Amino acid sequence: MSNTPRPAAWSRLNVFLHWTIVVLVLCQWIEGEYMADFWDATLEGGSIGTTTAVLGYGHIVLGTLVLVAAALRLIDRYTHGRPPHDAQEPKWASLLARVTHFLLYTVLLVMPVLGLAAWFTGNDDLAGYHAFLWNPLLALIGLHIVGALAQHFWFRSPALKRMLPGLRQSA
Ligand code: HEM
Ligand code: HEM
């Protein structure tokens, strides 16, 4: 994604944003059901309970933070570069990781944009596309976690250690 020289480690900001996004996506999972009710009630003019309203607005705020954090990660990755994929790893594994990372970034940016567009226009189709992307995102996250564990335990590459805040070497 960039021609910047490869650093030995991820920047502190990038590691912080990676784990921040993990926590935010977990929150979105919990709040998603409430947001769906909040959305229906907003469109149909039904009554909204306090919990649904608070978690619905929370969904909008935390979802927007995902958009900001993913964009910042991409800017950081572009300006600082990313550490290289392990040379010992088979080519197919590095390629699969690259494709998964690309798709993860795409969904992390497109999902909140669709959600915000639906919210500000009141368009239920956009909300539907937004909700539809949730299962593909879960599948990508699952593949990504299996990949990270395989890199660590099977290929014995440093990828997981350099993404863990306490274990990473400084850039
Ligand atoms: C990456 C960030 C986000 C994730 C992972 C996410 C995830 C989800 C999930 C899991 C649902 C429930 C889907 C269902 O039960 O069918 C949902 C619903 C919804 N979200 Fe988000 N969301 C994000 C950001 C946002 C943002 C920024 C907004 C802005 C307003 C938003 C607006 C909505 C709306 C309107 C619904 C209701 C969709 C419907 O019922 O058709 N989301 N979201
Ligand atoms: C919501 C869940 C997650 C999302 C959305 C996510 C997203 C991402 C993305 C987009 C990258 C690509 C970095 C880049 O090339 O710029 C990445 C890297 C990485 N992630 Fe995750 N991640 C998640 C959860 C996890 C978990 C639970 C683990 C650990 C088991 C993990 C381990 C890693 C590692 C080790 C890297 C660096 C790979 C490398 O250096 O080649 N991620 N993550």
Of ligand 2's listed atoms, the one at least distance from the Cα of 86 is: 41
Give dist(CA 94, CA 110) in Å, integer. Answer: 24
Q: What is the pLDDT of residues 19-43, one digit of tens each?
A: 999 999 999 999 999 999 999 999 9
Residue 46, pLDDT above cutoff 90: no
Q: How far apart are the first and last CA of the chain?
A: 19
Mutation pick for ligand 2 pocket among 4, 10, 18 (CB with most ligand atoms within 8 Å): 18
Ligand nearest to the CA of 155: 2
Q: What is the pLDDT of residues 83-142, one digit of tens each?
A: 988 888 889 999 999 999 999 999 999 999 999 999 999 999 999 999 999 999 999 999
Pocket test for ligand 1, best of 34, 130, 133, 134 (most atoms within 8 A of CB): 130
Give the range among 4-8, 49-53, 140-144 with minimum mean pLDDT.
Answer: 4-8
